[in-house]
Structure 1
Amino acid sequence: MMPFMASAVNLALPAIQREFSLSAAMVNGIVSIYLLSAAVALVPSGRLADLYGRKLLFTAGVVLFSTSSLVLGFSNGIVWLLAGRVAQGLGGGMMMATGLAIISSVFPAGERGRAIGFNVAAVYVGLAVGPYAGGLLTEALGWRSIFLCNFPLGVLTVVLLVLKVPGEWADGGKGRFDGLGAVLYAFSLVSFMAGLSLLPALSGLLLVLFGAGGFVLFTCHELRAPFPLFEVRLFRDNRVFAFSSLAALINYGSTFAVSFLLSLYLQHVRGLGPGTAGAVLLWQPVVMALLSPVAGRLSDRAQPRLIASLGMGMSSLGLLLLTFLGRDGAILYVILCLVCLGIGFALFSSPNMNAIMGSVAPHHYGIASGAVGAMRLIGQMCSMAIALVVFALVLGSHGEQGGNHPALPQALTICFGIFSILCGVGIVFSLARGNLRREWQPAKENHEH
């Protein structure tokens, strides 16, 4: 539901803008407020899931996500739209923080990678189907239908959870929830991510620094807290977890903006229509969906760091090839680069998640799952920030629009070059994580605390 919604709603934005006479900034707010809300919910939801039950938090997330989708479908103004997107983001964050933790609780170490691979494949199927389904629904039934169709899917999911997923998983013992830590985390993250979206403006830089300072305070508080919201010592004492998380941050930071950049290239430089450009860009998520289960299974048999590092190498190669695209690059060449990126991301994503979840004790599954989601969202925001800064520097006052600016191919080449180098640096961190110590025993039966 989440990936489908994230990609489908982009097709509804023009219709929403027309109906409510919204400014471009307000339309951007409909998207960004969802991402911010999801990011804020990730780590606290992971901790709550460890304390009180992962299925409970996941089910609550589905209910909130589905109910807010219903509200969005019947909203009659921008206030209801924004409120619904906040609630939808919080529900989505709860699902993101607990889904991976449940998979890790159910499947033993020797089967976890394959299960994570299928989970990742489902994400990319949603991302691939979303734009086409969103466009068809908006054209045939209106933009509200995109939100309304999520409600029956949510009801079906809750029914399946109740009937087909017995028991509960909670390994947090008798600890307490760190409310102050949650406030510090949310305040720091919102400041940091909002600042990234405003770069290279001075206000954006100040917010980024403010958010970074907030994270320092958050870390100091967590080190002293008797029951921390997030066990920051994992980054100090768990090499596999620390370097795998950093590799994820770098990987998302160097790949997320590629679809945005290639969309500009295909439409403004090569003159393709939106539908044709979308069909070209579809190659990457399709390859990722097909190969993610295979990569996950491979990470059950070989060390995840080797497979994930190979994946980052493929992504770096794909990005390097894109730097030679030029103004008259063949569409077949673009597809080749996208296939290379799809293979790279598939080889990286599932094995890296398997390494993160396999490196922590069961009572930290929720926290680790939340950390994976946080690295993903922060990396995505950093990726877009890098692209926007390059556009501002190369295209000047036309940086925000891009469009038919004669220097657009140069800006794209610089972005792809920076991202390729970042991916290369990420390979070093991916290899530096060391080998994962596996525990080859069956997963414990569902249990309650």
Structure 2
Amino acid sequence: MNAEKDGLPMPRRLLAISAVSFGQALCIMDGSVANIVLPTIASDLRVDNSAVVLVVTIYQLVLVMGLLPLSALGDKIGHNRLYRLGLLLFSIATGLCFFAHNLPLLLAIRALQALGAAAVLSVSMAIVKAIYPAHQLGRGLALNTIVGASAAALAPTLGGFILGVAPWPFVFVIGAPLGIISLLLDKALPPSEPKGGTYDLWGALLCAAMFGLTIVGIEYANQGGALKGAAAIVVAGLLVGYFFVRRERGRTRPLMPIDLLSQPQLALPTAGAALIYTGFTILIVMLPFQLQLAHGFSPMEVGTLMASMPIASFFVAPVAGILSDRIRPDRLALFGSLISVMSVAALAQVPADARQLDILWRLVLLGMGVSFFTAPNTRMFIGAVPHDRTAAASGLIATTRLMGQTLGATAAATLLALGFNESLISHMTVVILLLLAGATCTARASTSKIQDNVAVLTR
């Protein structure tokens, strides 16, 4: 049986998807839990609050810089081998957190963690595609999403509990059981033959510099740095990106998957993902301000209300994944974007004396809408990618998500700085981004119909 086309047999399929999902959840959980422990780290290491934020920033920065270069390395040495190496590096770096007695050492360890996480995340979708047969890919992606969403949702709660009974380094080993399970089950992963060839080291450095400079410039502006300096850093990143993309054009297997993005059926889901993650992040950042300042909810109440979104996603994601195997994914994704638009519009109309239930149903609706968009949209993208380019596609998906989140956080900071924290302007910004995400689904459906008609005429 060809594993790439037919997937793995049961029960090996279940063991394999558990292995890759738990490994991915470990990396997501560690990235999500860091915010909880920052004040404690600042006090213990005797550093300023503004400096300790680098513990989060360095993780995100190295992660984005490493995803595409490492996905190309995964093609060269084999997806499974890179996955195991990444998980091992992440685990070693996590143990080193116990020896971080100053901030520079902790930042170096966090960078190592991020490098390991990038190796895991850069090939995880490629492994998932090899695990499931084509007609069941949606449910495999949905299960993978459930584990990741659950890890992100549970991380702050578990981190707060651990912080109450143990020193802060223990918070970073919160996902250790998941890593152990993943390593024990990794023999069930589908075979992945190395493709060999030379590794484009110069291209990898340019790619990392492009994303690194751009994100550093954005973060510098977010932290109140000089606007001219921030703009200069971003422009430098864009210039590096220009030369990098020019260099990649015409290559048979470009490190930056330009060959994939040149195809509308792949470029449109990528654009849709970037738009939905940007809009969702804007709302997530600004929503606490609305709920606390405009409606008077306590921080604990806000946290409880916002937890409703990942909980809704937990239940809706598998349904959306299964349906995407039976119904055209572009229609499901369009439905999800419209549900999301309705929920954001409803949030903009919340009365000043709203009760928790008035907020709760709107947020549950938003969680459902985002799940109904992301699961089919990912299904559209990864399902249309050739088997020999799945690692590049996996890296592109993860990079798109992180860049969308970065742009969303920047846009939210800008809106807050302009005083739009309780304004209709912020909600309208999110609505426009969600509508544009839905438009990519309509455009993809039209493109597919045109391609089908052309295929019929040329027979």
**TM-score if structure 1 supplies the norm length?**
0.88
Q: Which amino acid aligns with 1:203?
A: G
The aligned residue for residue 59 of structure 2 is 34
Quote the Cα distance in structure 2 between the aligned partners of 1:359 and 1:433: 12
Task: Confirm whether residue 376 of structure 1 aligns to residue 389 of structure 2.
Answer: no
Partner of 2:159: 134
* Distance (whole Å) between structure 2 residues aligned to residue 191 and residue 37 of structure 1: 11
Spell out the pairing of 1:2-41 with structure 2 (5 A cutoff).
2-41=27-66
Q: Counterpart of 1:40 in structure 2: which amino acid?
A: M
Q: Does structure 1 residue 239 correspond to structure 2 residue 261? A: no
| CA distance, structure 1, for counterparts of residue 344 and residue 235 of structure 2 | 29
Structure 1 residue 256 displacement after superposition: 1.6
What residue identity is the alignment partner of 1:425? L
By how many angstroms is 1:226 displaced? 5.4
Give, in angstroms, the shift of residue 356 of structure 1: 1.0
Equivalence for 2:437 = 426
Mean alpha-carbon deviation: is it higher for 49-58 or for 272-281? Answer: 272-281
- SS of the residue corresponding to residue 325 of structure 2 reads helix
CA contact (8 A) 1:291 1:347 kept: yes
Name 1:115's counterpart in structure 2: 140
Aligned length: 419
Residue 310 of structure 1, CA deviation: 1.2
Q: How does 1:167-206 map to 2 (within 5 A)?
A: 168-170=191-193, 173-199=195-221, 201-206=227-232
* 8 Å CA contact retained: 1:20, 1:78: yes
Using a 3 Å threshold, how does the CA distance of structure 1 residues 67 and 363 change in structure 2: closer, same or farther? same
Change (3 A) 1:121 1:325: same
Q: Does 1:360 align with 2:377?
A: no
Match of 1:77 in 2: 102
Deviation (angstroms), 1:211: 1.9
Residue 180 of structure 1: CA displacement?
Answer: 1.2
Hey, what does 1:343 align to over in structure 2? 368
- Code of the residue aligned with 1:204 in structure 2: it is A
Query: What is the letter of the counterpart of residue 178 of structure 1?
Result: D
- Residue 20 of structure 2 corresponds to none
Structure 1 unmatched ranges of 5 or more: 395-406, 438-449
Shift of 1:225: 4.0
Q: Gapped runs of 5+ residues in structure 2?
A: 1-25, 450-459
Q: Is the 8 A contact 2:122 2:398 kept in 1?
A: yes
Note if contact 2:291-2:297 (Cα within 8 Å) is conserved in structure 1.
yes
- Find the counterpart in structure 2 of residue 417 from structure 1: 428
Name the residue aligned to 1:230: 256
**In structure 1, which of residues 202, 212, 219 is the aligned counterpart of residue 238 of structure 2?**
212
- C-alpha distance in structure 2 between counterparts of 1:118 and 1:92, whole Å: 19
| Structure 2 counterpart of 1:64, from 89, 98, 117 | 89
Q: TM-score, normalised by structure 2?
A: 0.86
Displacement of 1:109: 0.9
Percent of paired sites with the same residue: 26
Residues 270-312 of structure 1 deviation map (CA, whole Å, 9 limit, x = unaligned): 4444332211110000001111111111111111111111111
Matched, 1:279 2:304: yes
Q: Deviations over 1:371-409 (max 9, x none)?
A: 000000000001011111112222xxxxxxxxxxxx742
Once the 2 structures are TM-superposed, how far is the Cα of residue 327 of structure 1 from its aligned partner? Answer: 4.5
Give how far 1:218 is off: 1.3
CA contact (8 A) 2:77 2:196 kept: no
Shift of residue 366 of structure 1?
Answer: 0.2
Separation in 2, partners of 1:375, 1:386 = 16
Cα deviation 1:158-210 (Å, max 9, x = unaligned): 12213x33x5213x634322111111111010111122223473333332232
Q: How does 1:392-403 map to 2 (within 5 A)?
A: 392-394=417-419
CA contact (8 A) 1:178 1:227 kept: no
Q: Select between 74-83 and 109-118 the one with higher mean Cα deviation.
A: 74-83
